[in-house]
Amino acid sequence: METLPARDERAPGAAAGDGGPAIVADRVHMSFDQHGRPLHVLSEVSLTVRQGEFIALLGPSGCGKSTLLRLVADILQPTRGTITVLGGTPAEARRERALGFVFQQPVLLPWLSAEENVALPLRIGGWGRRHAPAATPAELLQLVGLDGFNRARPAQLSGGMQQRVSIARALVSNPKILLMDEPFGALDAITRDRLNEELLRIWSTVRCTVLFVTHSITEAVYLPNRVVVLSPRPARIQRVVEIDLPYPRQPAMKDTPRFTEYTSTLRAALEEA
């Protein structure tokens, strides 16, 4: 997508910490109240994510990966510990629309067209009137490979296409951080592989920080710069693995010895946990 202008055009002073880390989690502990007894979900999680980095959070189902993502998005607040997003609180980052969230389900509004769904964040709070978007909803649909489907209703789109729309929607307010909660977990393997390619292509265009929750080991090696392996509940950081494979990544890399070495490392880390 050559039409997208360069990023980082924020007014000076906005979103402190340009050049600083995107996300810092400091001894974050999270427990929910379950029938009067605390259910510990996260325990002593400390993590620093650099700006522009692609991080995969890998762990068994129900271990608290999604909870960590929701703490960064200010959907939940930690029981103990602090989370810093772009030098401020998660709430500040949320209000500045520095965060884009892609859910496991597309969560599209069925009464709106694809383009209107992408434009929804611009309508809310009058954001679109006050900020010039880096790319229009139509351009973003083009970016995610849905050119020509602007007026299609969600029900007319396949699951994979719906998830593309939801990625475009997350990008429309030009976020610095993209939070993705097992976005391709509900899709078939073929569609999933293709959307992995698309995601890397989109990331190479928009260059934002990505925090990507997954329970697929292949995804966790193929996509990110670094993988954070979480233990079962209460989740602790079991291991952090740097994936030293060059971008742009090619599907053929999945058959190389380096790749399989990484997958075995991650599998071992998960089993240890």
Partner 1 sequence: MTATGRVAARDQDAAPPARPRRREGRLRRVAVPALAVFGMLAAWQAIVVGFRVPRFIAPSPLQVLEVLRTQHDLLLDNAWPTLLETLAGFAVGNVIAVLIAIGFVHNRVFRQSVYPLAVTLRTLPIVAISPIIVLMLGLGFTSKVAIAALITFFPTLVNMADGLDAVDPQALELMHVLSASRWEIFRYLRWPTSLPYLFSALRIATTAALLGAIIAEWIGSNRGLGYLILAATYDYRTPLLYATMAVASGLALALFGLVSLIERYAIPWRQTSGPSES
Site residues, partner 1 (CB under 8 A): 70, 73-75, 94-95, 97, 99, 101, 103-105, 107, 109-111, 120-121, 123-125, 148-149, 151-153, 155-161, 191
* Cα first-last separation, the chain: 41
Q: What is the DSSP letter of 88?
A: B
To partner 1, the closest distance from the beta carbon of 170 in angstroms equals: 9
**Which is nearer to partner 1, 81 or 159 (by Cβ)?**
159
User: Minimum Å distance from CB 149 to partner 1?
Assistant: 7
CB nearer to partner 1: pick between 157 and 199: 157
Shortest separation between residue 72's beta carbon and partner 1, angstroms = 10
What phi, psi does 52 have (nearest 5°)?
Answer: 85, 0
**Smaller CB separation from partner 1, 78 or 121:** 121
Within 13 Å and on the Cβ side, how many CA atoms surround 162? 20
- Minimal CA–CA distance to 202: which of 169, 167, 234, 230? 167
Least distance to partner 1, CB of residue 121, Å: 5
**How distant is the alpha carbon of residue 246 from its chain centre?**
20
Largest CA distance in the chain: 55
- Taking the least distance from each CB to partner 1, the nearer of 70 and 236 is 70
User: C-beta of 69: minimal distance to partner 1 in Å?
Assistant: 10
Residue 165 three-state SS: helix
CB-based contact 235:64 (threshold 8 Å): yes
Backbone angles phi, psi at 141, to 5 degrees: -60, -35
Query: Are 146 and 1 in contact, with CB atoms under 8 Å apart?
Result: no
Of the two residues 31 and 105, which places its CB atom closer to partner 1 in the complex? 105
Minimum separation from the CB atom of position 260 to partner 1 (A):
28
CA atoms of 4 and 8, how far apart (whole Å): 12
CA-based Rg of the chain, rounded to a whole angstrom?
18
Question: Between 84 and 162, whose beta carbon lies closer to partner 1?
Answer: 162
